Amino acid sequence: MTCRDAIAVIADFLDRTLAASAGAELEAHLDDCEACRAYLNTYGKTRELVGEAGRVEMPGELRERLRRFLLDQLGRRA
């Protein structure tokens, strides 16, 4: 497995959706590749932080202005 191959499957590895044989191949690569281990750790931490940030609700006034704008744009196309 190359580093490019490893990077391509890291998300599936973290999601636990990677086939067992591919997971074993990735783990073997990670044992020997410090750069990919660092990438895995950084990628995993980034996913964790994004998940903690949560979804921010759009303020009601802005939501209403956006809705009116979009309806106006759709009306111009009709």
Confidence of residue 54 (pLDDT cuts 50, 70, 90): confident
Confidence of residue 51 (pLDDT cuts 50, 70, 90): confident
Contacts of 10 (CB under 8 A, 6+ apart): 26, 39, 40, 43
User: What is the Cα–Cα distance from 14 to 60, expressed in whole angstroms?
Assistant: 36
The count of structural domains within the chain is 1
Positive or negative torsion for Cα 66, 71, 76, 78: positive
Domain of 46?
Answer: 3-77
End-to-end CA gap in the chain? 54
Q: Answer whether residue 75 shows pLDDT above 90.
A: no
- In this predicted model, what pLDDT tens digit does every residue of 9-46 receive, in sequence order? 999 999 999 999 999 999 999 999 999 999 999 999 99
